[in-house]
A and B are shown apart, each in its own frame.
Chain A
Amino acid sequence: MVEWTEAERRAIESVWEKIDINVIGPQALESVLIVYPWTQRYFGVFGNLSSVSAITGNPKVAAHGKTVLKALGSGVKNLDDIKSTYAKLSELHSEKLNVDPDNFRLLADCITIVISTKLAAAFSPDVQAAWQKFLDVVVSALSREYH
């Protein structure tokens, strides 16, 4: 089971308190679709993803970005039980959506980068370490039902 120090719990909470999921979510998902264009294949029903401005103006992308960040909040509130928290989402992504789990890491990286642009110096190395550990655990939980 994952062990969290007090400092790590505080750091993760502090990031979560500071960010606006309605801004971070859309921006992070837009980044993934732009920086790693093959990920667009999973969002065929979202309509126009044919250019940067199409992606950043696409309301379905924005809505889904918010959905993803909201789900991340479940992990923040259940740090000691992330595996079970994401069991159903893991099954959904593997069995129904057939998402290559490598892409979870790409989205996690983009979330972290967007957070860095918002928090700047407040995203100190210690906070970065705790946050990245948290995202690693979430990505691992999302990947579990694949095997």
Chain B
Amino acid sequence: MVQWTDAERAAIADIFGKIDRDVVGPNALARCLIVYPWTRRYFGGFGNLYSADAILANPKVAAHGKVVFGGLEKAVKNLDDIKITFAPLSELHSEKLNVDPDNFRLLADCLTLVIAGQMRAAFTPEVQAAWQKFLAVVVSALCRQYY
């Protein structure tokens, strides 16, 4: 089971306290679709994803970004139980949505960049380490049902 130090718990809680939840999710998902264009294949129902501007303005992308962020908020409330918390989502992504799990890491990287951009100097190396550990655990939980 994942062990969290008090410092890590505090750092992660601090991040969620500081960032703008309505911006981070949408921005991170938009970045993923722009920087890693093959990810657009999963969002055929979202309409116009033909350019960076179109993606950034796309209301379905924004809405889904918030859904993704909501998932992260659930994880942070269940830090000691992320595996079980994400079991249904893992099954959904593997069985129904057929998402290549490599893409979870790409979205995680984009989330990190957006949060770094918002927190700026407050995103110290220690905060980065705790955040990246958190995302690695979430990504790992999302990958579990694939096998």
Pairing of A with B: yes
Chain A residues proximal to chain B, CB less than 8 Å: 27, 30-31, 34-35, 52, 55-56, 109-110, 112-114, 116-121, 123-126, 128-129, 132
Number of contacts between A and B (CB, 8 Å)? 60
B136 to chain A, nearest CB (A): 11
The 6 listed contacts between A and B (C-beta, < 8 Å) are: A55-B125, A114-B116, A117-B119, A125-B35, A128-B35, A132-B35
* A117 engages B117 (CB within 8 Å): yes
Tell me the B22-59 residues at the A interface (CB within 8 Å): 30-31, 34-35, 52, 55-56
B28's nearest neighbour on chain A, judged by CB, is A125
Report, as a range, how many residues of chain B touch the other chain: 20 to 34
Interface of B is mostly: helix
Tell me the B94-147 residues at the A interface (CB within 8 Å): 109, 112-114, 116-121, 123, 125-126, 128-129, 132
* B117 engages A126 (CB within 8 Å): no
* B34 engages A129 (CB within 8 Å): yes
Given the complex of chains A and B, what is the CA–CA distance between A126 and B51 in angstroms?
10
* B113 engages A31 (CB within 8 Å): no
Task: For the A-B complex with A34-B125, A113-B116, A117-B116 known, give 12 more contacts whose Cβ atoms are closer than 8 Å.
Answer: A30-B125, A109-B109, A113-B113, A114-B116, A116-B114, A117-B120, A117-B121, A120-B117, A120-B118, A120-B120, A121-B117, A128-B34
